[in-house]
Structure 1
Amino acid sequence: MDIKISEIANLPSKWGNFKIQSFKEGEKEHLCIFKNKPKDTLNLRIHSECLTGDALGSLKCDCGEQLEFSLKYIEKNSGMVIYLRQEGRGIGLFNKVNAYALQDKGFDTIKANHQLGFKADERTYEIVKFMLKHYKISKLNLLTNNPLKIECLKDKIISRVPIIIDANKFNASYLEIKQSKMGHLL
């Protein structure tokens, strides 16, 4: 892996005062947002980019609310959010918008991705392992509902912190599909 690592900078935010560092992997620039160095076990959220949810407040998903929950949790309990540039479960923003259009026509999130020629989830997590090694982190309390993230880091996980977000009329079926077809622990 050819990874470039930025300096560490301060990141004051509406959720707290954090440190931030970027890891450049080819064209993708991932972030580590953290509060205090771990003494033993790191509280960690791996969050994949969701422009519509994180920045635009979309109600079609629970991504923005999961990120906000995680930043508040890290502010209170210390830890890290790894923000991965893997928009739309790894299919990119352009294809995600096309998947949204298919969802508007009645396709669920998985069928929409399949219709566009993608797997249900195209994300990878190798860069996470690199980042954790860089910070010399070996034990995690993982903030997630996603079984793929748990499987990827099972040798490091001490406990799982669930992130439960209330459904709304726009994302209820999306959350149901995540739970019933993707195995998310909701």
Structure 2
Amino acid sequence: MSASREFASEALQHAATSLPIELGGKTVMLDAHAYSDGVDQLVVLLHRAADICSDHIPIVRIHSGCVTGDIFHSLRCDCRQQLQAALQTICDCPYGALVYLPYHEGRGIGLFRKLKTYALQDCGLDTIEANLAIGAPVDARDFTLASRALADLGMRDVRLLTNNPLKETALSGLGIRVVERVPLRVLANPHNERYLETKRLRMAHDC
């Protein structure tokens, strides 16, 4: 996992609007903030109660985009379940945000190479072995833009909603103080049991 990279030469670009979403059968209104650094783009969905005090520490989920899981509801990973659980947790709290990074597909290796690793996993390799077999890093994600977006929104102190301790390390190295790491556990299924077990045993996740 890459903690940071060179900042793009362009200034941070920001656009904001309101975004009604369906969550648990109800309509929830969130603030949507799009950011671009001239190279990558992300969106921050923000939920904040009107009467929240200025020193309240938000709960924040940094979610890596997953076409197969988030869109097609693939059972090979736990991405969709984590996304829905994170949104519910954030909307149940007085102050929280979901940072969605679409360019993090496949732990940063992209959709095409992720599908190549799936084929190797079908042949018996685990998720780490499959990445290495195609010459890809185990985790190529970068959190520079996420940290810049959080800082721009005034969220320099966060309660981080994640099972991955390396996300805490990465954000801390980029100036975001993680005051608490909150696990986000979901139920395994027969298609992702080995994947989750590999993340727990070989990547120190709290799965």
TM range (shorter): over 0.9
Identity of aligned residues (%): 37
Deviation at residue 134 of structure 1 after TM alignment: 0.7
Deviation at residue 3 of structure 1 after TM alignment: 4.6
Q: Which amino acid aligns with 2:189?
A: N
**Structure 2 residue aligned with 1:41:** 57
Secondary structure in structure 1 of the residue aligned to 2:15: coil
Consecutive unaligned residues of structure 2, counting only runs of 5 or more, are: 1-6
Cα RMSD after superposing both structures: 1.5
Consecutive unaligned residues of structure 1, counting only runs of 5 or more, are: none
**Structure 1 residue aligned with 2:72:** 56
Q: Confirm or deny: 8 A CA contact 1:140 1:157 kept in the other structure.
A: yes
The answer on 1:149 being equivalent to 2:167 is yes
Using the alignment, how far apart are the partners of 2:159 and 2:34 within structure 1? 22
Flag as ranges the 4+ runs of structure 1 deviating above 6 A.
Answer: none
Deviation at residue 138 of structure 1 after TM alignment: 2.1
Deviation at residue 83 of structure 1 after TM alignment: 0.6
Q: What TM-score comes out, normalization by structure 2 length?
A: 0.85
**Structure 1 residue aligned with 2:96:** 79
Change (3 A) 1:106 1:3: farther
Deviation at residue 152 of structure 1 after TM alignment: 1.8
> Match for 2:192 among 161, 164, 171?
171
**Structure 1 residue aligned with 2:32:** 20
Q: Confirm or deny: 8 A CA contact 1:5 1:21 kept in the other structure.
A: no
Q: Which amino acid aligns with 2:72?
A: L
Any idea what the Cα deviations from partners look like across 1:22-44, whole Å, max 9, x if unmatched? 11233432111111177321110
**Structure 1 residue aligned with 2:3:** none
Deviation at residue 100 of structure 1 after TM alignment: 0.9
The answer on 1:11 being equivalent to 2:19 is yes
Secondary structure in structure 2 of the residue aligned to 1:110: helix
Any idea what the Cα deviations from partners look like across 1:35-67, whole Å, max 9, x if unmatched? 117732111000011011111101000011111
Any idea what the Cα deviations from partners look like across 1:107-151, whole Å, max 9, x if unmatched? 111111001101111101111221122112221111000111111
> Match for 2:180 among 123, 146, 159?
159
Specify which structure has the bigger relative contact order, considering alpha-carbon pairs within 8 angstroms and separated by 6 or more residues: 2
Q: Confirm or deny: 8 A CA contact 2:42 2:146 kept in the other structure.
A: no
Using the alignment, how far apart are the partners of 1:156 and 1:6 within structure 2? 22
Deviates more, 1:4-13 or 1:138-147: 4-13
Number of aligned residue pairs: give it.
Answer: 186
Change (3 A) 1:183 1:23: same
| Residues 174-185 of structure 1 mapped to structure 2, 5 A cutoff | 174-185=195-206
